[in-house]
Structure formats: structure tokens, C-alpha cells
Amino acid sequence: MAADPVADVLAIAAHRDDVEQTCGGTLLRMASRGLHTAILDLTKGEAGTRGSAEDRAKEATAAAKLLGVRWRQALDLPDGAVENTLENRLKIAQIVRLLRPRVVILPYWQARHPDHAIVATLGYEACFLAGLSKAPSGQIVLSGAPHRPFKIVYASLYADVRPSFVVDITPFIDQRHNALMAYRSQYANQAAGSGLFVAEEEIRERTFAEARHYGLLAGVRYGEPFVQKEIGLVDDLTLLPVQSI
Ligand SMILES: [Zn+2]
């Protein structure tokens, strides 16, 4: 991956393959605009039913290539037991300082998987911490210049919530699917955990149907949903997208 890891957009997620499912199309769209994108996975997937952490590392690298991201790493937070501790906030803040993103994508704060919900607040607080010159203890424990992202948005695909906006991923839907399918240990048809996992064709149907649903809400074919906490700001009413009537 690139020697200079500065990123315009950084997606932070609990597990390898979360980003592929929730905002992979958006990262592809940003890369197609010439922006630099990055992914920080917080765990290595050691608690997964299928495949080892090593398998998932290789798959994550392959998926990153397919998504056109310039930088991807995984921290060593415990899979299935991600906690919002100062130690974990500092680990993430150090990466935020390294990559200096303008935009950070986090998972939405209500989720079935506790790791996803925690990462919404853990990631937010880490972004705040990255902008402080001293840690709350008064010590300087982070290297690099302070940096706080301008914008934080929440990928809300897993959540039953009305999105603030949708990103049109129509040209990128197949490539996003290819990136998800790079996780062969998770998604290729196999015997291990077949009671827990759905077949490959079913995954395609589900993920395309979700993308179609959010696309329809925005008047495009395929979309990915996001929530932002801030209000929208408009310059020119005549340029507002998404038809009303
Ligand atoms: Zn996950």
C-alpha cells in the first residue's frame, strides 16, 4: 500500500468485512473521484466461526485492493468484546493522526452486534482525542500533530433508521460485491457453520436488495445509507437532488 498514508476518507469498523458490507461502494465512489481512502478494522477476527485471523488478513488485503483503498490495517482489539477504554481510544486516535482524514465513517450507534454499536462512540471519542495536544491525563502520549476530522458520518445499513443521505453506488455495486466475496473463508459455500451462514447466492440477493432499497429512496438504482448528526446546509435550492413529486 501507499508509503504516504494520508487519507481523505477513513472508514473505521469493528470487523474485517464490515466496511465491504456497509460503505464499500461509497469508498469506491470516493476513490473514483481521485480521493484517497483508508480502512481501519479494530479486530482481527479471531472469534469467527469460519477461517483464522491469518486467513482474514489475506482476504482483507485482497478486498482493500478491489475497493481501491490506499491503506488498511487492523488493530488488536478483542473480537466480540470491543470496549470504549482510554487505551483503545488512544490506539485509534494515533491512526487518525497518522492518516489525517477529512471524513471518518463509523458504524451507526444502534446495532444488533454490540461491537458495532460501541465503535460508534469509541470512534467518535477517539477522533476527539486525536485533536487534543495532551491526553486527558495531561501527558503527551500520542505522536504526530493533533488532528480532528471535519466530518463524521455513520454507515446505517445494519440499522432500522431513516438515513440522512444516500450515496449513489450504482456503477460500483458489482465491484463492492467482489470485495465482499474476497472473504472466501466467510462467504464461499462450505460445510463449516452452514447452519449459521447463508449461501453465496443468497448473500448477493440480500446485499443487492438492500442497496436497491436505499437507492430507490434517493431515486437511483443502488445506494448506501448514512446518518449525520448535523443539519444539512444548502447553497442553491435549484440544485437540491432527489425528486419530491
Ligand atoms: Zn461486524
What average pLDDT does this structure show over 113-119?
Answer: 97
Q: What pLDDT is recorded for position 3?
A: 53
Q: In angstroms, what is the span from residue 242 Cα to ligand 1's centroid?
A: 30
pTM, whole model, 2 decimals? 0.94
Q: In angstroms, what is the span from residue 57 Cα to ligand 1's centroid?
A: 15
Kindly compute the dihedral angle of the four CA atoms of residues 77, 78, 82, 84, in this order, to the nearest 10 degrees: -50
On whether the CB atoms of residues 241 and 182 are closer than 8 A, the answer is no
Percent residues over pLDDT 90 in the chain: 82
Q: In angstroms, what is the span from residue 17 Cα to ligand 1's centroid?
A: 7
Those residues whose beta carbon sits under 5 angstroms from the ion ligand 1 are 14-15, 18
Q: In angstroms, what is the span from residue 45 Cα to ligand 1's centroid?
A: 9
Q: What pLDDT is recorded for position 189?
A: 75
Q: 11 Cβ partners below 8 Å, 6+ apart?
A: 19, 23, 27, 37, 38, 39, 40, 104, 105, 155
Q: Give the Cβ contact number of residue 164 at 10 Å.
A: 16
Q: What pLDDT is recorded for position 200?
A: 86
On whether the CB atoms of residues 124 and 166 are closer than 8 A, the answer is no
On whether the CB atoms of residues 226 and 156 are closer than 8 A, the answer is yes
Q: Which of 25-29, 43-47, 99-103, 181-185 is least confident?
A: 43-47
49-89 tens-digit pLDDT: 777 888 899 999 999 999 999 999 999 999 999 999 999 99
How many degrees, rounded to 5, is the angle at CA 165 between CA 161 and CA 169? Answer: 105
Q: In angstroms, what is the span from residue 121 Cα to ligand 1's centroid?
A: 15
* Cell numbers placing 200: 453465496
Confidence class for position 192, pLDDT limits 50, 70, 90: low
Q: In angstroms, what is the span from residue 41 Cα to ligand 1's centroid?
A: 10
On whether the CB atoms of residues 224 and 22 are closer than 8 A, the answer is yes
Q: What pLDDT is recorded for position 45?
A: 82
Q: In angstroms, what is the span from residue 172 Cα to ligand 1's centroid?
A: 21
What value does the mean pLDDT of the chain take? 93
Q: In angstroms, what is the span from residue 190 Cα to ligand 1's centroid?
A: 20
* Cell numbers placing 93: 486516535
Q: In angstroms, what is the span from residue 123 Cα to ligand 1's centroid?
A: 14
158-168 tens-digit pLDDT: 999 999 999 99
> Cα–Cα distance between 218 and 215 in angstroms, integer?
5
* Cell numbers placing 61: 488485503
